[in-house]
Amino acid sequence: MTDTVTGTPQPAAPRPFGLLAELTYRCPLACAYCSNPIELARYDDELDTAEWQRVFTEAADLGVLQCHLSGGEPLLRRDLPELVRTANELGMYTNLVTSAIGLSRSRAAGLRDAGLDHVQVSVQADEPATSDRIAGIRSFERKVAACRLVRELGWPLTVNVVLHRQNIDRVAAILDLVEELQADRVELANTQYYGWAWKNRTALLPSREQLDRAEEVVTAARERLRGRMEVVHVLPDYYSRYPKPCMGGWAERQLTVAPDGDALPCPAAQTLPLPRASVREASLAAIWTEHPLFTAYRGDSWMQDPCRTCDRKDLDLGGCRCQAFQLTGDAAATDPVCHLSPAHDLVEAAVETANRPGPVDVELVPRLRHL
């Protein structure tokens, strides 16, 4: 097989194991760090029930084992139980990624009966005032009640907290809350700067001092909670010496399908200047194995120096293509978070701004509530 963008021979496509099904970008929250696209109205023509069921069937045939049902807010889809049942019957492990707004007892019971395996609830902070301010609506008490309902109904519970300048100093209290909620897992994931988060980067990027304090708290919590709760802490790319191996490699292990049927190697790839791939126009197998969007950066033949000759290229895989394009305009460039990148000064400048003395005098731009 030959890459239709670079013209270079490509190895046979690997088999994906994870599907992120972004069922809708509609959402009652207005989080300023949201990674959903800015132009939300473009995705209003959502796949219907039958189309999603076909996507799930094709994904299972490709080898997908995990189906993550996300958004936006997937609970806004009335057919959610039907979609869960389909994925369950196809043998996929189903995970609901939700704000929990709308997770009533009757709705939860219906999802449990449909075979839902796991629930991941987003929480913005540890107490109502901060949480509601970040979320853009009064939601904290409903989130806490939903977490308790999840545990009552016997589901494994993951609590996801996106960390940033506005809440990272509360990480100890956040961990106390998550422990009280008896979560099995907590993801403390520093903001990734795409979508709305990119617009708000200056107001969201924490200082080095904030990160160091948080890391100390998390390290102690891991020891204290060992064997009771898994604590995952994802540091911000901008403070890393080397980039993360984004998505485990471009179109290597996971794929995303957006509400309108766009198929993507990662959730932010719609920003790249590559041909659009749609499940309404081609099978998932054809898209995964041969579409230019999926083959463009698979493997390492596309790499430029310093990645091409770097002894770490099989470890970090060149970093994030979407971040490289966003910062440099060249999706094949070395991810600028890498200290070896010729464009690393772009990241250094953002970090320098985040570490200036005094408050950051920038207002957050909330995500548009799109219902």
**Could you write out the DSSP letters of every residue in 183-232?**
-SEEEEEEPP-SHHHHHTHHHHPPPHHHHHHHHHHHHHHHHHHTTT-EEE
Question: Which sign does the torsion angle of CA 61, 63, 65, 70 carry?
Answer: negative
338 marked ligand binding residue: no
> Rounded distance, CA 165 to CA 160, Å?
16
How many Å separate Cα 7 from the centre of its chain? 31
State the SS3 of 131-161.
HHHHHCCCCHHHHHHHHHHHHHCCCCEEEEE
310 marked ligand binding residue: no
> Rounded distance, CA 74 to CA 25, Å?
8
27 marked ligand binding residue: yes
> Rounded distance, CA 21 to CA 310, Å?
35
Whether residue 306 is preceded by a cis peptide bond, meaning omega within 30 degrees of 0, is yes
DSSP 21: E
> Rounded distance, CA 119 to CA 100, Å?
9
Q: What is the CA radius of gyration of the chain?
A: 20
Binding site as annotated, residues for [4Fe-4S] cluster? 27, 31, 34
Binding site as annotated, residues? 27, 31, 34
